Amino acid sequence: MGATNCPETPRQKMIGMMYLVYLALLALNVSKDILDAFVTVNDAMEQTTANFTTKVDQSYAMFDAQEQNSPDKVKPYNDKAKQVRKVSTEMIKYLTAARDEMYSKVEGCTPQQAAQKTLKDMKSKDDYEKPTNYFCINEKKAYEMQEKIREYKKQLTKIVDDTNYVLPNGLEVDKTFKDNDGKDEDWAFHNFNHIVAAASYTLINKLIGEVRNTEFETVNFLNSAIDAGTFKFDKVSAKVIPNSKIVFSGDSYEADIIVAAFDSRENPTVYWGPGRDTATEDDKTKLTTLEGEEGVVHLKIPTGGIGDQKFAGLIEIMSPDGTKKCYPFHDSYTVTKPTAAVAADKMNVFYANIGNPVSIAAPVAPEKLRINWGGASATSQGGGKYSVTVPTSLVGKEITVSVSADVGGGKSQNMGSTTFRVKAVPEPSLFIGGNISGGKQPKDAILANPMITAKMSPDFNFELRWSVISYKVTFVKGGVEDAPIMVPGGRFTDQVISKIRSASSGTIVEFTDIKIKSEAGNRAIQRPLSVRIK
């Protein structure tokens, strides 16, 4: 450039102009690099959202499958999950429309045309005036969006209707921010005022991803709440299990009265009376009281003359909500009439591929009994006890155990039969260590026992141990999902431990594709186990 007291030559002017153009090109290159970075980040956001969409669709499919197996139990929660899907779909549709409308204003096209474009196609990525007018000044779309997100969160809380439900913090729109001068700014102004179009487009895609994440965690919460506050077996009914229904005059009729399936840690109380067809709670003071031990009440009725006998009563147990509930029972027996009783020792169903303990009582020597196990196989344990194994091919069906007795002379006496439902062994619960099943957790708690474990519910009264074959770990921070880590066995690898230690607060650690094995066979657990770093 020339000095003021020395006029520039044409050559100096040309050099000066070239220098200015060079500086402008440098600035343009820096800006282009930043704008290209937004394209990269936006692509990652869209891929993460697609991954969450796949996962939440799998959760809905699991709900539908569970409802087919247990409609009365699962339907109320599945109905709530469907409401979550509806409001989440509407929220994503709204955000997508806002994103496309902003795109159309920046690029001068219709929203329909914008919907067919990507951020990479946007020519005016650095335009901030049109997005600012759209979001904060003229149409104030950011404030409308802020209110829509508030309403969406209220809808989810109302649908779930559970004090234990905590919304993920990715959709926090009520936080106050500070500008460069220390003045307060609300969410809408802070995120969309004087923000270039590329950043605004990326931010809305991030919000769409957070909606998918919130939908996913809410549906999983509903799934986990299915068994909360309910009995841990599918039917609650009183059942009388006699040692024998044939009683000789002068002997005693003996039976165990239980709630099938029963909890050996609960000691029920029985109120009963002879010669009755029914009993109600109003009859308690008229009935004989028997206290139970280890989940069973032992009833002993002295007998006199032969003939038909009957009795009825109530069994009282503590329900999961802490209140006492009564279930009526009644039964009859015939003195000297031959019969047999078959009952599962622990549950009123058979579980496939494991040993089910069964007792058979009959008024004849055990070696004279002939038992048809209805397609199952059984091993005698002695004393009228058996371990029954049912093949997995019979899951969902019923089998009938029939008992007859060899009475001599080539003749047999039918002693009775009982029909059992065959069910697959339920999935175990997944934990980090011994007791972490999800939620917000400090790193020290996660790393205190660095392994994935699988355990049956305490209400599953069988000794069944699971070992972990392999699983996958994915770290998600700010809606961006890292590449998954495959882990053999149950313990965390050094790489997983290192990433947990270095993870920042809010990072989601998700364990998926968990494969386990036990006596019941190999399982691939579909539901994820995830924690959020405190």
DSSP per residue, 243-288: S-SEE-TTSEEEEEEEEESP-TT---EEEEEET-S---GGGGGGSE
Question: Does residue 12 sit within a domain?
Answer: no
Q: Are residues 194 and 243 in the same domain?
A: no
Residue 412 is predicted with a pLDDT of 76
Confidence of residue 158 (pLDDT cuts 50, 70, 90): very high
Residue 472 domain flag: yes
Strands 452-455 and 429-432: antiparallel
Q: Is residue 9 one of the residues assigned to a domain?
A: no
Ranges 98-112, 283-297, 330-344, most confident: 98-112
Measure the CA–CA gap between 436 and 381, rounded to whole angstroms. Answer: 38
* 319 in the same domain as 183: no
Give the domain-ending residue among 382, 403, 424: 424
More confident residue, 383 or 67: 67
pLDDT digits (tens, 9 = 90+) for 294-308: 777 888 887 765 556
Q: How far apart are CA 274 and CA 367, in angstroms?
A: 34
Note down the domain range covering 81.
28-224
pLDDT at 308: 64
On whether both 361 and 307 belong to a single domain, the answer is no
The pLDDT assigned to 234 comes to 41
The CATH number of whichever domain residue 263 belongs to comes to: 2.60.40.680
**Distances 360 to 142, 183, 348, 533 between C-alpha atoms, Å:** 72, 81, 14, 53
On whether residue 21 sits in a domain, the answer given is: no
Among 11-15, 18-22, 309-313, 470-474, name the one with the lowest average pLDDT: 18-22
Average pLDDT rounded to a whole number, residues 82-87: 95
If asked whether residues 384 and 323 sit together in one domain, one would say: no
Measure the CA–CA gap between 355 and 352, rounded to whole angstroms: 8
Q: Which of 168-177, 332-341, 374-383 has the lowest mean pLDDT?
A: 332-341
Together in a domain, 326 and 343: no
Q: Are residues 451 and 509 in the same domain?
A: yes
Task: Check whether residue 42 and residue 161 sit in a common domain.
Answer: yes
Among 424, 440, 468, give the residue marking a domain's end.
424
pLDDT band, residue 244 (cuts 50/70/90)? low
Residues 150 and 264 in one domain: no
pLDDT reading at 475 higher than 90: yes
347: alpha, beta or left? (left if phi > 0; alpha if psi -120 to 50): beta
Domain end point (choices 305, 337, 369): 337
Mean pLDDT to the nearest integer, 502-525: 92
Question: Of 368, 378, 374, 376, which Cα lies nearest the Cα of 404?
Answer: 368
Share of the chain above pLDDT 70, in %: 81
Assess whether 513 and 458 both reside in one domain: yes
Question: Domains in the chain: how many in total?
Answer: 4
Mean pLDDT of the chain, nearest integer: 82
pLDDT digits (tens, 9 = 90+) for 11-58: 545 545 544 444 344 333 435 667 777 788 888 888 888 888 888 898
**228 has a pLDDT exceeding 70:** no
